[in-house]
């Protein structure tokens, strides 16, 4: 609703996030279930293959081949599902801020029309946040291993120095990961709300997030803590119950208990991810609007439009207009008069005085 459009503190944004999530819980949870269920299916299949075929040589080869095949199939599917779900969460959150109706189907339908844009944005974010640090870490490990081998062959020590250098490198990569994540955190809100391209959305996030990255970092840390707490709250009771079941130490039932443990772990991960993912989507949309209010006077612009003081601009994003779905997606500019169509009264030729 428009009355919420004012510069907000971190506590106000978190409180508003909880309110929106609670009021539309089933919709947000349903949107988030699709990528987490996809991950659960492929990860669970890999784990079950490993348990079923055991540790024998032939079974291990089959398990490795099956896991590789599932990974090759699962990664693209998971990439598409996660990209569309992230965009759909932003779409639903942007509409709910203004009190507009949202559904799971309409949210995915809205972002499906521009799916490649969101997939590209997610790929760029993933490469910047995860692939680049991992590649740098891998190269540094190889260099450190080579230097350690040279030092050992030369009879030099330096093991402690290498360990210290490795810790510094890991710490630096973690800091880089958080830093680049904060820089790109508003990319999806900008891409969804403003309907910009992936690269333009990343540049928009880079500039728009200035001054709010500390608050977004607190959001990330709170999300990590919430994830851990929920995971422990789900895992511990089930694992304790499994330990208390009779026959748990029996060699005969060991594969069955191992399978149940894996299902509990992956099921708990599914539940936690599906529950916490909407928190980030809603909160980042609120941060996006808050930054536009602080930097661009977005709240004043909305109030002036509502009061009729300025002509309302044509919505850049049809789903966020005041029109109900699906009319918001089908608005088209007026067409020029077609041949044979009656002309307007002002354009008609003057009537002849002789009739």
DSSP string, 174-213: HHHHHHHHHHTTTHHHHHHHH---HHHHHHHHHHHTTT-H
The predicted model gives 294-305 an average pLDDT of 82
* Cα distance between residue 117 and residue 191, in whole Å: 8
Question: For the chain, what is the domain count?
Answer: 1
Task: Judge whether 69 lies within some domain.
Answer: yes
Q: Mention every residue, 6+ apart, whose C-beta is less than 8 A from residue 214.
A: none
Task: Judge whether 345 lies within some domain.
Answer: no
Distances (CA, A) of 313 to 55, 341, 349: 65, 29, 34
> What tens digit of pLDDT does each residue of 238-283 get?
777 777 766 555 566 666 667 677 777 777 778 888 899 999 999 9
Task: Judge whether 124 lies within some domain.
Answer: no
> What tens digit of pLDDT does each residue of 318-350 get?
444 433 344 444 444 444 444 444 444 444 444
> What tens digit of pLDDT does each residue of 111-134 get?
998 999 999 999 999 999 989 988
pLDDT at 341: 44
Task: Judge whether 163 lies within some domain.
Answer: no
Q: Is 82 helix (H, G, I), strand (E, B) or coil?
A: helix
pLDDT at 321: 43
pLDDT at 300: 82
Structural domain boundaries, residue 34: 2-116+211-322
Task: Judge whether 161 lies within some domain.
Answer: no
Asked if the model's pLDDT at residue 140 lies above 90, the reply is no
* Cα distance between residue 149 and residue 145, in whole Å: 6
Task: Judge whether 303 lies within some domain.
Answer: yes
Task: Judge whether 143 lies within some domain.
Answer: no
> What tens digit of pLDDT does each residue of 49-80 get?
666 665 555 556 766 777 777 778 888 999 99
């Amino acid at each position: 609703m428009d009355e919420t459009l004012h510069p907000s503190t971190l506590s106000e944004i978190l409180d508003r996030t909880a309110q929106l999530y609670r009021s539309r819980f089933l919709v947000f949870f349903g949107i988030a279930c699709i990528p987490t269920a996809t991950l659960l299916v492929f990860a669970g299949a890999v784990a079950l293959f490993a348990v079923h075929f055991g540790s024998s040589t032939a079974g291990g080869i089959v398990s490795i081949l099956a896991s590789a095949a599932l990974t090759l199939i699962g990664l693209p599917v998971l990439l598409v599902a996660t990209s569309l779900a992230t965009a759909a969460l932003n779409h639903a959150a942007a509409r709910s801020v203004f009190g507009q109706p949202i559904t799971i189907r309409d949210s995915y339908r809205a972002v499906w029309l521009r799916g490649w844009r969101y997939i590209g944005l997610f790929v760029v974010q993933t490469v910047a946040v995860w692939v680049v640090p991992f590649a740098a870490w891998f190269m540094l490990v190889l260099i450190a291993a080579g230097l350690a081998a040279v030092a050992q062959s030369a009879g030099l020590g330096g093991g402690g120095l290498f360990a210290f250098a490795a810790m510094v490198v890991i710490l630096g990569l973690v800091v880089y990961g958080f830093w680049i994540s904060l820089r790109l955190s508003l990319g999806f809100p900008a891409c969804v709300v403003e309907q910009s391209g992936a690269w333009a959305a990343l540049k928009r996030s880079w500039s728009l997030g200035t001054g709010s990255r500390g608050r977004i970092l607190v959001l990330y840390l709170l999300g990590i803590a919430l994830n851990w707490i929920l995971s422990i709250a789900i895992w511990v009771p089930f694992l304790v119950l499994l330990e208390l079941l009779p026959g748990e130490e029996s060699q005969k039932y060991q594969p069955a208990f191992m399978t149940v443990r894996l299902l509990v772990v992956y099921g708990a991960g599914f539940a936690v991810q599906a529950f916490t993912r909407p928190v980030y989507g809603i909160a980042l949309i609120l941060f996006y609007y808050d930054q536009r209010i602080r930097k661009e006077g977005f709240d004043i612009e909305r109030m002036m439009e509502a009061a009729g003081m300025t002509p309302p601009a044509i919505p850049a994003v049809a789903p966020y207009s005041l029109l109900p779905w699906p009319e918001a997606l089908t608005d088209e500019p007026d067409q020029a008069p077609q041949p044979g169509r009656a002309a307007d009264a002002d354009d008609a030729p003057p009537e002849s005085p002789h009739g």
